[in-house]
Amino acid sequence: MSLNASSEIDNNSGKTQANNIDISLITYSIKNDYFGFALKSRPFKIYDFYEARSIDDSKFVIYPESIESVFNFSSNYLRKFALDFNPTITFLNEKDRINYGVLISPRYRFNDHISLIYSFKFSRQNKNIGWVDFDEDGNTIFARRNRITYTNTLQGKYSLNSNMNFNLTVRHYWSFAVNDDYLTLQDDGTFTDNLLYNNNKNSNLNTWNLDFSYSWWFAPGSQISILYRNKSSLFSREYSHQFESNFRDAIDNQNLSHSLSISVRYFIDYNSLKNSKFSKSFTKPKEIIHF
């Protein structure tokens, strides 16, 4: 069990940028399964000078007190099948403002050569407040919105032997936010409703990454690597809330960029080479490069 407390103070204004009191408990079962639980609290308001994005750093945003609960479970990775399960929930001291999410990651080792790990992560921020724009009068515009994020990751490894491996990593990230209300940031860090601002600042971000690689350690310190990669990054204001359509756009070949790289690293023992060069005996060939 551990207890941690920390605080950060802005050196210009003397205002508190961060304050936390965290208590955590970690334990293992006799079967080597991992359990962890934590309570993370922010007992006082904080002043964020970064999210305001003012040129002279004079403006700030006040964020309320909060308390977060975290649970972590990981079954023993030595088993063929193992599972990670990590739910979280955060309550902020504002009406209906709550964050929650979960990570679920099963893994399976088929044999000593093949293993797969799948990871699904979901998070939702209700009544989140964040920067969106500056208006024509120079006012800082924020929005109150719900932010939802999905992350799907697949990792695979196939080992031909101890020196040759194939690795695959596939990741799709989708995050979107729909703005419900627009707010104007005041000099004291609070907000007032802005009924005049009507620009569309909804956001939808899709990123896709696929890495497939082959590596061969043909000698100690010497490796041949071949990597194929394709990726995409799409941002839009108008979009569908359907997962299928966002995933389809992310992997559309018109939106993908492709790359192929080959690298060779070869280790040469310089000391051995130097000693062989100045050796007095030339009657017997010497091995000058060690692997």
Length of the chain measured in residues: 291
Residue 277 pLDDT grade (very low, low, confident, very high; cuts 50, 70, 90): low
Between CA 51 and CA 46 the distance in angstroms is: 12
Residue 278 pLDDT grade (very low, low, confident, very high; cuts 50, 70, 90): low
Residue 202: pLDDT over 80: yes
pLDDT, tens digit, 9 for 90 and up, residues 124-146? 999 999 999 998 888 999 999 99
Residue 285: pLDDT over 70: no
For the residues of 48-93, what is the DSSP string, one character each? ESSTT--TTS---EEE--EEEEEEEEE--TTSSEEEEEEEEEEEES
pLDDT of residue 276: 64
- Report pTM: 0.85
Q: Is 254 helix (H, G, I), strand (E, B) or coil?
A: helix
The residues spanned by each domain of the chain are 1-80, 110-291
Between CA 47 and CA 187 the distance in angstroms is: 12
Helix, strand, coil percent values for the chain (each to nearest 5) = 5, 60, 35
